[in-house]
Amino acid sequence: MPAQDLRYLSTAQVAELLSISTVAVFKRIKSGRLKARKIGRGYAIDRKDLAEVLPDYAGPRGLGEEELSLNEAAQLLGVTRMTVYNRVRNGLIRARRIGRRYVIAKKDLPAAAPQQPDHPALLHDYVSVMEYAEIIGSNRKTVLNHINQGRIKARKVGRHYVIAREDVPLAGLFVSPAANRADDYLSVAEAAQRLGISRVAVFKKVKKGQLPAHRMGRSYAIPASAVYAENDT
């Protein structure tokens, strides 16, 4: 297999570096904003020409240097580039922005690893599907698929799922068991039925702070104990 010419980048590689689509790269080439060599039906972009368009572009870097690209960080963490990107966007990985891309200081990688999470949802006893996805660097659809396959322990509250905090699969994460189990939570509809009021009335009580609840997507999960206490008054 011939060795790769590190002097040139493909349109896909340039698109990834600039955080734009390959179509946008083609448009820049066609308009003369980005120099490129035509090779067959594709283009090759010289790194020097890219540096003229993006002054902060430092060219190829090895893993021994102080800053890493998202791809390099993903290789070190054993995850995908999108996972690293999601963790950066959610504040789980410290990074600085250069143009439209991120670079990560190598010294910040240990804190970025899953065993040292820093997500506000972990302050609660239960997390929503979206929060769970953000914590592990995944997406809502994948988490729902894993729940349906039985790979993630969760309970359905109304139309939504909740996951106990201690069930978040992060190595080295030690959290005290939740005071109430997931089956001690009710959906808005269930709370309304037990209180003998409408769902709208339950929403109003939650909004006014008269009834404690955890936000789950567009709805709420309400502690059963709070509903029973409300019913006794």
Q: What digits encode the pLDDT tens for the residues 71-127? A: 778 777 767 777 788 778 767 788 887 666 778 888 877 554 444 455 666 667 778
pLDDT digits 0-9 by tens, 139-157 = 788 888 888 888 788 888 7
Phi and psi torsions of 175, nearest 5°: -130, 150
The 3-class SS string of 89-101 reads: HCCCCCCEEECCE
Q: Any alpha helices (H) in 96-220, and if so which ranges?
A: 109-112, 129-136, 140-148, 188-195, 199-207
Spatial distance between the Cα atoms of 126 and 183, rounded to a whole number of angstroms:
11
Residues 6+ apart with CB under 8 A from 189: 158, 199
- In this predicted structure, what is the pLDDT of residue 6? 55
More confidently predicted of 25 and 66: 25
* Whether the model pTM is above 0.85: no
Spatial distance between the Cα atoms of 135 and 4, rounded to a whole number of angstroms:
36
Spatial distance between the Cα atoms of 12 and 16, rounded to a whole number of angstroms:
6
- Tell me which DSSP letter residue 2 carries: P
The SS3 of residue 42 is strand
Contact 45, 11 (CB under 8 A): yes
- In this predicted structure, what is the pLDDT of residue 99? 60
